[in-house]
Structure 1
Amino acid sequence: MMTFPASMDPSYFDRTYRLQADLWREPFLELWRAVGPDPTLVREFQPFTDGSNLIAAFGAGWIMKVFPPFLRHQWESEWRVMQHLDGQVSLPIPHFYGAGETEGWTHIIMSRLPGVTLESLWPRLGDTDKAAILTDIGRIMARVHAVPVGGLADLPPAWSEFFPKQRGACRARHERLGMPDWFTQNVEAFVQKSLPLLPSVIKPVILTGEYTPFNLLAFDTERVQSIAGMIDFGDAMIGYHEYDLLGPLLFTCEGKPALVTALLEGYGYGPGEQTRELRRRLMLLQILHRYSDFKAQVRIPGWQDQVRSLEELEDLIWPLT
């Protein structure tokens, strides 16, 4: 039986192995034959190269994801959160079929949802449809945050340990990602000054981190105004609710006041709550986000030529009064 490599360099996995399905096709198919609900579907193997793991569909009904050893934490988050949310929210999410481990590589089998990624549709949508979708995303997020944490309370990483660690490493991270001097030389002071705006005691919620156009599905129709499904819970954790707002605000709101307001109103923020203090908290959380990368995530054309300070960048991304 062909197996996945005993060891795998994370950089090689992400930049080469994951993107070339021919490199992992045979062990992937053998695993499906061994654990899949219908081994004959190997002839309907459809690999995907997006995401951070090995992913393929088998026919119209099934998805299998395989996680390398160094992404085991994503495997744990995915299957635990998927099962916990099943039946708890009205939005379709994949149904969990099974999970397991083979020589350090872990896998999950789940149902395949209909629809296409919002990312594939977003460029052709007008602002009216975008605002309607963002309102829907806000409502969906609020419903998920209302689901009791229950048995997910110990899902790693623990917020009380995660957040201080992010504070200590934030300057080094943004230097490594090539942010300009005006950002890196002032970011630690900005963080320290802004921390009092966060509550000292939080009500923990399930953070999926996946309210982005890559992991939200919609139906490809003439008018698109709602979300048809949500996938991928590998980055889920338990923590402060506003952390989940960052994905849609950066990837889909485009720095437009009407789109930012649509998302926040959908979540439940009244006009009096959409304040400069909220904007500062969001900026702080984005700086400290575990995947924070302003260059890759801020989808405002020419933004790097428009700002010369953290405060100006904050004003641009989150135009709240």
Structure 2
Amino acid sequence: MSRAEAGVAAGEGTGDGPERVRAARLWWAAGLLGSELALVLRRRRTWALLGVLAAVPVLIGIAVKIQTSDDGTVGGGGAAHGPAFLTQVTNNGLFLVFAALAATLPVFLPMAVGVIAGDALAGEASAGTLRYLLVAPAGRTRLLLVKYASTLVFCLVATLTVAASALAVGALLFPLGEVTTISGTRIPFGDGLIRALLIAVLVAASLAGLAAVGLFVSTLTSSGIGAMAATVGLVVTAQILDTIPQLHAVQPYLFPHYWLSFADVLRDPFYWEDIGKNLQLQAVYAAVFGSAAWARFTTKDITT
């Protein structure tokens, strides 16, 4: 049964009162979300994106292992210019998780999310399936929320893919043990593992604003490729603007500005100021561009 057929089936027999109608619509929305997640996660494109993300920690780990000198330090003088935490990977493989997330967050993760978010609605319109999804009684608002929710789930899956790959490679190539925080204190490996999971969740949350931007772009066109390219282009543009010193006054309002604030989780105690600013900024972007996407999508002509 297709997603549209499931929605129609859920809407049948709902004339027995408002409670029955409400329950049917909730079941439809839950079923549509499950169907949407299954559709997104079984696409070859999604697996290709996740494969690239999983390969990044492997390449970083192998490169660090090759460059490691006999005394356990990274040779070649390139460590200072590498991703954050790279110099500590040889002492503790868990730091490969932090290094891999720092390396993928500026480019690879946003591009992957941009592809999924940009294609969310534009891809359906391009394939001609959008109008059939909207025959169900849940309406456009619930469909938009389902699309956004599935994109957020992909953000978490993509981030955990990087973290899991980095942890596996770090455990294979380097020793594991107590974690030295940025503050200089040492914490047990178990506590470090919990902080690594927290960092992965924070990185996924950092992409919530971008997901809303991509969804809004997806409502503006019927070309999936065009929406994906435009979303990725916005990511690149925002990253460039965030590096120009003359724009320091507006940089705190750019959605990528606080992305690397997750490093403060490795302080003892935690330093929450920049993390809080990042989460607040992502919430604002999600609210503003989510509202813009809703305004556009609920008035958009999808009959042609």
Q: Smaller-chain TM-score range? A: under 0.3
TM-score, reference length from structure 1: 0.25
TM-score, reference length from structure 2: 0.26
Q: RCO higher in 1 or 2 (8 Å CA, sep ≥ 6)?
A: 2
Report the structure, 1 or 2, having the larger helix content.
2
